[in-house]
Chains A and B, each alone.
Chain A
Amino acid sequence: AQRVTQPEKLLSVFKGAPVELKCNYSYSGSPELFWYVQYSRQRLQLLLRHISRESIKGFTADLNKGETSFHLKKPFAQEEDSAMYYCALSAYNTDKLIFGTGTRLQVFP
């Protein structure tokens, strides 16, 4: 069964500290992985996808097939990074996204 696990409900850091939001997935094939973000009072939006291999707002995520992980990282957190972050998986050749339960990131000044 396809499943996405985000073990942390809440992650609190101080501004300037490194951030790692964990995401593990369960899927036997070749998945496509995404990170979505929801800032306060805004709609959910795509942050990055693993096939793009790009850095968005300083965030990066590497797909580790051996560990079935897709952790989201940023070396220096900013206050404006405070938001809900959702990891999502799309199985090969489907358009359906399976979401994790989300991690709330709080960045304190």
Chain B
Amino acid sequence: NAGVMQNPRHLVRRRGQEARLRCSPMKGHSHVYWYRQLPEEGLKFMVYLQKENIIDESGMPKERFSAEFPKEGPSILRIQQVVRGDSAAYFCASSPDRELFFGSGTQLSVL
């Protein structure tokens, strides 16, 4: 079991471009969580998904951010028209129960 896989590890975008972050959960896990870590801050919950369902998106910004977890393929966190403030580490985690297994994260840098 390769663990939670996130790609890319590093993503550089210019302001106004779109960022797509991918997460493949551990085999057998059907729950996916996205967290964001800003410099000097802790992990902030963004969204919790199960296959084809958004369960809790209370941490997602109202605009420009969206997430999906299709029946086939990885979970995608999409950020449209990125701004400098979106620069952060984005972590994905999957879970069979309360224990979260984290990926290595994607470091997004917006120029």
Residues of chain A whose beta carbon lies under 8 Å from any beta carbon of chain B:
4, 6, 32, 34, 36, 43-46, 49, 86, 90, 94-102
Contacts and interface: CB of A to CB of B under 8 A. Distances in A.
A32 B42 contact: no
Q: Describe A's contact surface by its main secondary structure.
A: strand
Give the bracket for the number of chain B residues in contact with chain A. Answer: 20 to 34
27 contacts: A32-B98, A34-B98, A34-B99, A36-B100, A44-B43, A44-B91, A44-B93, A44-B102, A45-B102, A46-B100, A86-B42, A95-B31, A95-B48, A95-B55, A95-B95, A95-B97, A96-B33, A96-B45, A96-B56, A97-B33, A97-B45, A97-B100, A98-B45, A99-B42, A99-B43, A101-B42, A102-B42
A49 B40 CA distance: 25
Contact of B98 (A6, A90, A102): A90
A101 B41 contact: yes
A95 B55 CA distance: 10
Contacts of A46: 99-100
A49 B41 contact: no
Nearest to A32: B98
Given A43-B104, A86-B43, A96-B45, A49 B91 contact: no
